[in-house]
Structures are given as C-alpha cells and as structure tokens.
A = this chain, B = another copy of it.
Amino acid sequence: MPTILFAAPSLWPEYREALPQALAEAGLAGDVVTEAAPDQVDYIVYAPSSPLQDFTPYTRTKAVLSLWAGVERVVGNPTLIQPLCRMVDPGLTEGMVEWVVGHTLRHHLGMDRHIVNPGHVWDPTCPPLARERPVTLLGMGALGTACAAALRGLNFPVTGWSRTAKPGCLHGEDGLRQALATAQVLVTLLPRTAETENLLNADRLALLPRGAVILNPGRGALIDDAALLAALDRGHIGHATLDVFRIEPLPPDHPFWSHPQVTVTPHIAADTRASSAARVLAENIRRGEAGEPFLHLVDRQRGY
C-alpha cells in the first residue's frame, strides 16, 4: 500500500476527504498522510507554498504531484529530481473556458457600456456577429485547446499559436506576427518560462490591430506591464482584462487598478477543484503503481 504525503497544508481541509474517496473510486489502497518519514513516502502531493522544499531525503518517492497547473515556482528546485507532474484538472479547464468565453463575449457584445450607462443612452447599434470577430489564443495546451473549441462552437474564428509546432496551430516568430495581426481579441494562456516572459512587449503589442482587447488568464509575466499601459493610453489597445499579475494580490497602488480600460479579476479564472483534481491524483498514483507512464509529466527542459 503506497504512502501518499499530502504536503500542501493549506489545502488539506479540501482534500482530506476528497483524495481518499478518489483513491477508493479508482480501486486503489493508499495511505494518505500529512506527516511521514521521508524514506517511506511513495508519492508527494505538492503546492509551491509547501514547507517541504528539500526533496533529497525522499529517496523512494515515485512522483511529485503538483496541485497547480503552473510549476514555475517548483521546477527550478535543484533537489527535486523525482518525476514531477502538473495538475490538469477538468474542473480547472472548465472554469478557464467559462472565464475566457465569458470575457470574450463581454467585449464582443460591448457589455460594459450597458452595465455602466449613467447617461441612460439608448443606442441600438448591434455588434457584429461572433463569426466576424477573430480571436487569437497564444498557448494551445490543454487549456488553450479547450478554450478554442468553446469559442469555435460559438462561431468565433479562432487562430491558435503554440510555441511548438502543432497541427492546426501557427508557431514560431512569423506565426506569432500573423496570429497577432488579426486578433480583435487576444487571449494569453502560455506557461511562464524564460522564453515567454514579456512575450507581449511594446513591439508585439504594436502588431495587434487598433482597438484589440487583451485577456490574460495565463501568467502576469507574459505581458510587459509598462508597455501595455502605454498602448492602452494611446488607444492602440482597446481594453485589457487581466486575471494574473506579477505580484498578487495586485498592489493597491498599481496603475492597473485605476486605469479605465483595464479590468482586474482576482486570479479566479481557473481554480483547482478538489473533487476533480483528486481523481487526477488518483489516476497518476494508479499509473505509478502499475508501472505505466505518468500523465502531465513536466519536461524539465521546457519548464512545464
């Protein structure tokens, strides 16, 4: 019976029942504990905030299973040589799709001028149809692919750009230029790596069509904050709705808070849900016990 160390104390109340239940549903016996002798631990369930930072003594651990989709705060830990798996939670994907589709439709329909309309203006100008509103997604992993499918289901023409060549996606620097040039709505869903940091800098923001809307539910560091503010100020970017920031909570004096063309949402686009995430953990423990390849294994070279 494998010993599973749950090493994310702040999340324990959510998983205390959900994880044993998911193991039982998967037909697995497993001992889920919050303390154990390191050399007795078979699997570690992990979050970056965990006090566990030295993985050296965990000599028989078969995998470290992250509760977060983003592992940029984990992957650089030199003591972590065990296989590391990201969380790809169907609940997280669903929440992300809802946020991305919801805010795309909000901007597409021009909702804000009706939600805030102190002059009681009745202007029955219809928006174009979704089929006339090109959307570009940067990042076509599990989340990007799910968002693209949902947006296409509502008739939005979707262009996907991926850092690696994938069928049906643009890639590379030329592909990025092409993807940005048509984007009336741009959604950034890339992982944070050395290569994606400040991907949307002043030069690349200038490639977007005038009035484009940016939605960032990915990582704050994908966008150069100062370049974005400048592009908003001169009207080149029409609006930015941002869910992630370099520092969270977003500091009270950050100019994003008061900029009229910026909407701040408080890192709610994608939350891991214990019930569905526990089933993903159980599946990876089942695979580890059966000697099968792990799901969502992090590639240390790519960083995600």
Contacts and interface: CB of A to CB of B under 8 A. Distances in A.
A264 B118 CA distance: 11
A171 to B, nearest CB: 28
B155 A94 contact: yes
Contacts of A97: 154
A102 B99 contact: no
A268 B121 CA distance: 13
- State the oligomeric state as a number of copies: 2
A74 B111 CA distance: 32
Contact of A264 (B91, B109, B114): B114
Given A94-B131, A131-B94, A108 B116 contact: no
Contacts of A123: 266
A101 interface: yes
A112 B115 contact: yes
A76 interface: no
Ranked 3 nearest A-B pairs via Cβ: A102-B105, A122-B249, A126-B271
Interface of A: 91, 94-95, 97-99, 101-103, 105-106, 108-109, 111-112, 114-117, 120, 122-127, 129-131, 150, 153-155, 248-250, 252, 257-258, 263-268, 271, 273
10 contacts: A94-B131, A101-B101, A101-B154, A102-B102, A111-B111, A115-B116, A120-B252, A126-B268, A150-B153, A153-B153
